[in-house]
Amino acid sequence: MQQKLTKLAESIDGELYTDSTHLILYATDASAYREIPTAVCVPKSWDDVRKVITFASKERLPVIPRTAGTSLAGQVVGKGIVVDLSKNFRKILEINPEERWVVVQPGVVRDELNMELKKYGLFFSPETSTSNRCMIGGMVGNNSCGNRSVIYGSTRDHLIAVKAILSDGTEVEFKELTDEEFEAKCNGENVSSPLEVAIYQNIKRILSDKENQERIRRKFPKDSIIRRNTGYAIDLLLNTSPFTPGKAPFNFCKLIAGSEGTLAFITEIKLHLDPVLPPEIGLACLHFDNVDESLRANLIALKYKPSACELMDHYILECTKNNIEYRQHRFFVKGDPGAILVVEFARETREEIEQICANMIAELKEAGLGYHYPVIYGEDTAKIWHLRKAGLGLLSNMPGDPKAVPVIEDTAVDVEDLPEYIREFNEILKKYDLYSVHYAHAGSGELHLRPIINLKTVEGNRLFRTIAEEIAALVKKYRGSLSGEHGDGRLRGEFIRYMIGAKNYALLKEIKRTWDPNNIFNPGKIVDTPSMNTSLRFEELGDLHAEQLRRHHVPQLHGCP
Ligand SMILES: Cc1cc2nc3c(=O)[nH]c(=O)nc-3n(C[C@H](O)[C@H](O)[C@H](O)COP(=O)(O)OP(=O)(O)OC[C@H]3O[C@@H](n4cnc5c(N)ncnc54)[C@H](O)[C@@H]3O)c2cc1C
């Protein structure tokens, strides 16, 4: 293999690394997983990428597309060739302010894109906490979203079109199609290869079947759940006009978003843009004695149409106390709250926001919810968001071996179900003497719940799996989504079959087989995922690289290596 890789390296303009330093650096993302890849490619052109795909196809070697590598579920961890686009594919290709869209390469950083779009009064609205480093390719791959998903939804909702390289090396464009255009593709017209015809015929066959339709509708997460990454989004494709008359036109982008690099290699991305928020922003920082109270208040707050409704619990607030940077941003915190709900209103004038907040606070008081209700305006609002965004990073850097681990950190349920769901969730944790941190996107039914576990112990490793299984059952009971934004990856892939049932899962496998017959694109994610407690960073290292890793003494990495 080494010889073949050397030949591949000679044939491309970019770099191909097989030295241990590169392999170790690319063995991780921001998750609990680690696997040593076979090689790391930093391509210079799409031609390089095509050569890698052709090589991988011939050698049956995985290709793992990677941008910033901030995934939390092991999406860019695996054996094979990791293809890093973060260096040479950072161009904004076209901006159309009148029609409000932009075309970018996958390696454009989300915040850098928005800095450029600011002069047009526009922005790409999904906003991850990692927005200053995560890249659009990865946001599409994971169907990412952020604080304002209550009004802006997720990346999928803004994906107009993508250009991509399929597993046979041919180029395609996926975009909205009329019913006639969709039929034409199924009949082999306007396609670039037999593989493209096959993927259209495959989806048509699956989604035209009445039994499949009924089962997909019954088993996928409730329609009311905005944040939904549960395998391939065939439930959303079913709701397009060839299969459900009167619905939106067919667009494969719905499936590509959240497909975690398992179906095609994306080369260009066309995104819908939103006008920047109205000039006046007010943040009502509602203080509660406990999380349960805050989640009931969340339902009242949502009636007033906020642009975000974000939770920080006592634990997160404690972490910020001891941090030199963040403790300055705690100016609005009074006493020792069990939870703070930050409710954002963006309107044309401050008077409007004052009126809305007065009404909301009156209703909360009447319901006996909360004890302190400051509303913050102007520059200070940035400090509050800064504090909220800091949560995950601070938790990742907890001193000592027990960490707030990402294992069930991304569940989403109908927002109305959230208080009851969290109550049951905490009962499960209590059985194991565990405590979980609660924070983030209460407004859209998703809290980042991270139990504190020591993964360096056998007991911790066992708990990692037990908790995942029990919480999967709970999420299923509420017909929620195991992943709201972080994706399935190595962590949740194993549970998709359980969540949507064996027959629906078989459809996802059929899709993967059709798109990628040699199973080269990021295998082991979405379908055929290995057990979630294998390839963990801290498990006993049994492979050939173990000695190498020990010699290099790899510290725990957080975010991009
Ligand atoms: C501290 C912290 C906070 C976070 N907060 C949030 C949050 O608020 N919201 C949220 O949604 N996520 C969050 N995340 C997760 C992560 O940052 C996002 O999922 C982010 O969008 C990933 O972008 P990336 O560039 O790092 O992608 P990567 O991790 O590099 O890749 C993500 C996926 O996209 C695929 N991919 C990348 N490029 C391509 C391509 N060209 N073609 C095909 N597939 C491709 C990869 O194979 C992979 O499956 C957080 C992570 C951390 C560490």
Q: What is the structure's pLDDT at 442?
A: 95
Confidence of residue 561 (pLDDT cuts 50, 70, 90): very low
Strands 92-96, 122-123: pairing kind = unpaired
* Dist. CA 513–CA 510, nearest whole Å: 5
Per-residue pLDDT, averaged over 32-48, amounts to: 97
- 146 CA to centre of ligand 1 in angstroms: 12
Nearest ligand 1 atom to alpha carbon 266:
42
Per-residue pLDDT, averaged over 115-128, amounts to: 96
3-state SS, residue 371: coil
Q: What is the structure's pLDDT at 319?
A: 82
Per-residue pLDDT, averaged over 279-300, amounts to: 97
Nearest ligand 1 atom to alpha carbon 67:
30
C-beta 32 within 6 A of ligand 1: no
Q: What is the structure's pLDDT at 539?
A: 59
Q: What is the structure's pLDDT at 540?
A: 45
- 19 CA to centre of ligand 1 in angstroms: 25
Q: What is the structure's pLDDT at 65?
A: 98
> Residue 375 pairs with which residues in a beta bridge?
284
Q: What is the structure's pLDDT at 544?
A: 38
Confidence of residue 557 (pLDDT cuts 50, 70, 90): very low
Q: What is the structure's pLDDT at 542?
A: 40
CB 241 within 8 Å of CB 248: yes
Q: What is the structure's pLDDT at 454?
A: 87
CA distances from 325 to 128, 185, 322, 330, 381 (A): 21, 55, 9, 10, 16
Q: What is the structure's pLDDT at 459?
A: 87
| Res. 95: pLDDT tops 80 | yes
Confidence of residue 265 (pLDDT cuts 50, 70, 90): very high
Provide the token pair at 121. Answer: 């009064």
293 sits in which H/E element: helix 291-302
3-state SS, residue 387: helix
Ligand 1 pocket, mutate which of 45, 144, 150 (most atoms under 8 A from CB)? 144
3-state SS, residue 492: helix
Q: What is the structure's pLDDT at 554?
A: 34
Express each pLDDT in 323-377 by its tens digit.
888 888 899 999 999 999 999 999 999 999 999 999 999 999 999 999 999 999 9
| Res. 119: pLDDT tops 70 | yes
Q: What is the structure's pLDDT at 448?
A: 87
Ligand 1 pocket, mutate which of 26, 28, 41, 67 (most atoms under 8 A from CB)? 67
As a whole number, the mean pLDDT across the chain is 92
Q: What is the structure's pLDDT at 326?
A: 84
CA proximity to 459, closest of 489, 478, 481, 434: 434
- 71 CA to centre of ligand 1 in angstroms: 4
> Residue 191 pairs with which residues in a beta bridge?
none
| Res. 559: pLDDT tops 70 | no
Q: What is the DSSP string of 144-204?
A: ---TTHHHH--GGGGEEEEEEE-TTS-EEEE--B-HHHHHHHHTT-S-SSHHHHHHHHHHH
Ligand 1 pocket, mutate which of 134, 140, 394 (most atoms under 8 A from CB)? 134
Confidence of residue 222 (pLDDT cuts 50, 70, 90): very high
| Res. 555: pLDDT tops 60 | no
| Res. 293: pLDDT tops 60 | yes
pLDDT > 90 fraction of the chain, expressed in percent and rounded: 81
CA distances from 228 to 203, 208, 476, 478 (A): 20, 23, 13, 13
Express each pLDDT in 516-537 by its tens digit.
999 999 999 999 999 988 998 8
Q: What is the structure's pLDDT at 458?
A: 85
- 216 CA to centre of ligand 1 in angstroms: 27
Q: What is the structure's pLDDT at 408?
A: 85
Angle at 407 between CA 402 and CA 413, to 5 degrees: 135
CB 205 within 8 Å of CB 226: no
SS3 readout for 1-12: CHHHHHHHHHHC
Q: What is the structure's pLDDT at 541?
A: 43
* Dist. CA 246–CA 162, nearest whole Å: 24
Strands 81-84, 39-42: pairing kind = parallel
Nearest ligand 1 atom to alpha carbon 558:
53
CB 139 within 8 Å of CB 297: no
Q: What is the structure's pLDDT at 358?
A: 98
Per-residue pLDDT, averaged over 500-510, amounts to: 98
Report the range of poorest mean pLDDT among 129-133, 262-266, 451-455: 451-455
Provide the token pair at 74. Answer: 């092991």
| Res. 552: pLDDT tops 60 | no
C-beta 86 within 6 A of ligand 1: no
- 288 CA to centre of ligand 1 in angstroms: 32
Report the range of poorest mean pLDDT among 159-163, 286-290, 459-463: 459-463
User: With the C-alpha atoms ordered 273, 110, 312, 414, is the resulting torsion angle positive or negative?
Assistant: positive
* Dist. CA 186–CA 205, nearest whole Å: 10
Q: Which residues lie below 8 Å from residue 106, measured CB to CB, with a gap of 6+?
A: 65, 67, 85, 89, 135, 136, 137, 138, 140, 266, 267, 268, 269
